[in-house]
Structure 1
Amino acid sequence: MSTSFFFGYGSLVNRRTHAFDPAHKAVAKGWRRVWARVPGRPVSLLTVSRDAGSEIEGLIAPVTGEGWAVLDQREADYDRTDARADVRHEAPTVEELAIYVVPEADRLPPDTEHPVLLSYLDVVLQGYLGEFGKEGAERFLASTGDWRVPFLNDRDAPLYPRAQSLSDAERGFVDAALLYVGAQVFSR
């Protein structure tokens, strides 16, 4: 069994988007989620920033064989960063634990030309609802920075490559959450 793990805090919490197993619930202390766009990408995404007073929930899962190459390709705009000292978990024998972070120098604020995809947020919140329940998804909302960024409603024709179908209850939670946090949702 592998002793190398990743900590997922966004779409990697949704087990439907990857085959890394077994996954374990975990908490990363000293990190906060933020929205960012990266030069050269058409959409914005989640990343994390150091924040001594914050912690975020997520999943860790072991990485074996070519797994790091697969993850590094999926998370191409991120640096794989050591987080072993920051993450609490109940997994046995974790010798390496990485978190993916967009470098500060590469981050720009999301805008309407580079929005967050609603299909991406759907996947993220579906993962949190499945792993941590409604209360955990609400903690996700509270532990993620500025929500007043543009979200492109692409649900009818998802642009996110790992888009998932949501139940009516999951979709209702996401829609209510967007209203609650004051997000700007638009269509093209």
Structure 2
Amino acid sequence: MADPYFFGYGSLVNRATHLYRTAFPATLPGWRRVWRHTALRPIAFLTAEPDPEAEIDGLMAAVPAADWAALDDREYAYDRVPVTGLRHALQAPLETAIYTIPPGRHASPDRAHPILLSYIDTVVQGYLAEFGAEGVARFFGSTHGWGAPIRDDRAQPLYPRHQRLTASETRLVDDWLHEVGAHPQAAVAPDR
């Protein structure tokens, strides 16, 4: 029996954040990417939600022997659900799952639950490696919620799987954030 696959659309697109080596770029129609937070995590992350008018690029990767435990642990704030219709370079249909925060269990990011710039950096680096500059443009254009608060934590990254960016990658992220009207803010010390 063939190994199942996951479809990653955020940090899982960056191969440096995981050990799943049998991986391929793919596109998933009928879903959109959006910034959300959940009570299970202190900061905002990307989720995907059904949208018949949308599609998102991502990375599909095999889960050897269907051993989902490590990935389920990493994606603990999400539910793993099956998806179909994935477009990819492999010929055979594949059993594929996506991690998504179910409706009613997430909200828009806010000042108490911001997006981390180190997370955005990691995601964009992955899209650049897999899809090139055009893929980065599609990522920013197909992601909803850029008006959310973004915490600039580059100097001391809080995202546990953050990746170091080159100067040109950093400029690319900053230029696109400006393009979509997003404005990272320096961390504010909590009131005492």
Q: TM-score range by the shorter chain?
A: over 0.9
Q: Which amino acid aligns with 1:146?
A: G
How many residue pairs end up in the alignment?
187
The structural deviation recorded for 1:94 is 4.6
Give the distance between the partners of 1:125 and 1:116, measured in 2 at CA.
Answer: 14
Match of 2:101 in 1: 102
* Aligned twin of 1:137: 136
Name 1:91's counterpart in structure 2: 90
Residue 88 of structure 1: CA displacement? 1.1
Structure 1 residue aligned with 2:177: 178
Give the alignment of 1:6-155 within 5 angstroms.
6-65=6-65, 67-83=67-83, 85-155=84-154
Q: Deviations over 1:69-95 (max 9, x none)?
A: 011001001110111x23111235454
Whole-angstrom distance in 2 between the partners of 1:162 and 1:152: 16
- Percent sequence identity over matched residues? 48
Q: TM-score, normalised by structure 2?
A: 0.93
Deviating 4+ runs (over 6 angstroms): none
Cα RMSD of the aligned pairs, angstroms, is 1.4
- Supply the distance in 2 between the matched residues of 1:41 and 1:58 (Cα, whole angstroms): 23
Structure 2 segments unaligned to the other structure (5+ residues): 188-192
- With the length of structure 1 as denominator, give the TM-score of the two structures: 0.95
User: 5+ residue gaps in structure 1?
Assistant: none
> How far apart are 1:65 and its partner, in Å?
3.7
Partner amino acid for 2:21? D
